[in-house]
Structure 1
Amino acid sequence: MARLRRTPPHELDPEARALYDKITSGPRGRFMVDGAGGLTGPFNAMLLSPAVGDPLQELGAAVRYRSRLTDRARELAILVVAGHHDSAFEQAAHEPIARTLGFTEEQLRALREGAPLALADPGEAAVLRVTRALVADGDLDDEEYAALGERELFELTTLVGYYATLALQLRVFRVRPSGPDPAP
């Protein structure tokens, strides 16, 4: 059962409403809005503290829309983090995106389960190897460190940290991929 009620926009205080408007008018659009206008996923919790939630959602926008990671590399890394943390919401949100980028059901299952996965693209294989090391060990050996350029590695470690934070918040607030809101 979800622990956090989704607050309709007309019930938000001015600071939370400003953050709501920023999230729903940005690159994510209204993708994370339920039928009653409440924010779904990790964004609902961000409204609890706009002073922290706004920089957090800005970080998410930066790693999703402004990094040099390719779309496939980014979604690959997100799904490794989601699989490692068993984050059903992130899997449900990002697997459809990955499908549009050409990931197969077999590849998605391997990412969900942390199973071996051979990727033909050497850059994507490096992102997979490095991301799995980051979530498993929180560090990289010299070979893993050298597998990517430093800028790509910085962006990837930031992405991994951001999605690990979301996985924690989604778990603590018991956010499900879909379903009705908890009672007020």
Structure 2
Amino acid sequence: MPTLPADLAQGFGPDRGERLPLPEPATWSDDQRRIAQALIDGPRGGVFGPFVPLLHAPALAEPVGALGEVLRFRGALPARVRELLICAVARHTHNQFEWQLHAPLARQAGVAPAVIDTLRTGALPDAARDGLADDESAALDLAHELLRQHGASDATHARAQAVFGDPGAVEIATLVGYFTMVCWVMNLARTPARPSNEAPLPGLPG
């Protein structure tokens, strides 16, 4: 199995070899071929990231892909908020793949670079120090409580509800849950990040 560069290490322990690489196309079942082609033809444009290990379980790959497509490409949250939340989940789960992909997208969507830089260190961005927008702060507070406390306080929920409405608050919780799930799948599989100019996440567990 290939070994990842040290700064893109994924998962636990000294062995960084990919556990679940893409199955050989010659061995694909009809379902695997159909799902792979749908991913290639869809907005993702290819089979990569969590869909590499998920293709080993095609019955899961299809519904997981459908939900992710809704959240990423047809959701109601502003792209800036969505990309910031994905970065927060990637940092929380120590997932290099999603960080490398979505940190640049968050900047492109308008998240202040200082917010991304602070989040990368594992700290909570601050409005006064980092330029965190009000709606970003409301969404990020809700995401962090869900990730760390497995729920949300009345005050945090009410703030998110006031900014995004009930549908938006539900979408935030669903987005956080979805990306936590696919990060876990990639952490299990040691799915490698794509090399990029983005600084990798520090402090991965060893």
Superposed pair shares fold, TM > 0.5: yes
Q: Which residue of 2 aligns with 1:111?
A: 119
Is the 2:55–2:61 contact (alpha carbons within 8 Å) kept by the matching residues of 1?
yes
What secondary structure is seen at the aligned counterpart in 1 of 2:50? helix
Deviation of 1:50 after TM superposition, in Å, equals: 1.5
Distance in 2, matches of 1:64 and 1:114, equals 24
Equivalent of 2:67 in 49, 59, 66? 59
After superposition, residues 170-181 of structure 1 pair within 5 angstroms as 170-178=186-194
Distance in 1, matches of 2:54 and 2:33, equals 11
Q: Which residue of 2 aligns with 1:95?
A: 103
Q: TM-score, normalised by structure 1?
A: 0.86
Distance in 2, matches of 1:116 and 1:54, equals 34
Is the 1:84–1:112 contact (alpha carbons within 8 Å) kept by the matching residues of 2?
no
Equivalent of 2:44 in 23, 28, 31? 28
How many residue pairs get matched?
Answer: 171
Q: Which residue of 2 aligns with 1:151?
A: 167
1:119-142 Cα distance to aligned partner (Å, 9 max, x none): 452111101111111111110010
Structure 2: gaps of 5 or more residues: 1-16, 196-206
Q: TM-score, normalised by structure 2?
A: 0.78
Residue identity over aligned pairs, in percent, reads 31
After superposition, residues 81-92 of structure 1 pair within 5 angstroms as 81-92=89-100
2:142 matches 1:130: yes
Distance in 2, matches of 1:23 and 1:72, equals 24
Q: Give the letter aligned to residue 106 of structure 2.
A: A
What secondary structure is seen at the aligned counterpart in 1 of 2:175? helix
Task: Tell me which stretches of 4 or more aligned residues in structure 1 moved more than 4 Å.
Answer: none
Deviation of 1:19 after TM superposition, in Å, equals: 0.3
Is the 1:9–1:20 contact (alpha carbons within 8 Å) kept by the matching residues of 2?
no
**Which stretch shifts more, 107-116 or 51-60?**
107-116
Q: Give the letter aligned to residue 105 of structure 2.
A: I
Deviation of 1:8 after TM superposition, in Å, equals: 4.7
1:18-74 Cα distance to aligned partner (Å, 9 max, x none): 0001111111123xxxxxxxx321011121121111001111111111111000110
Structure 1: gaps of 5 or more residues: 31-38, 180-184
Distance in 1, matches of 2:54 and 2:108, equals 28
Distance in 2, matches of 1:69 and 1:110, equals 22
Distance in 1, matches of 2:145 and 2:29, equals 42
Is the 2:86–2:102 contact (alpha carbons within 8 Å) kept by the matching residues of 1?
yes
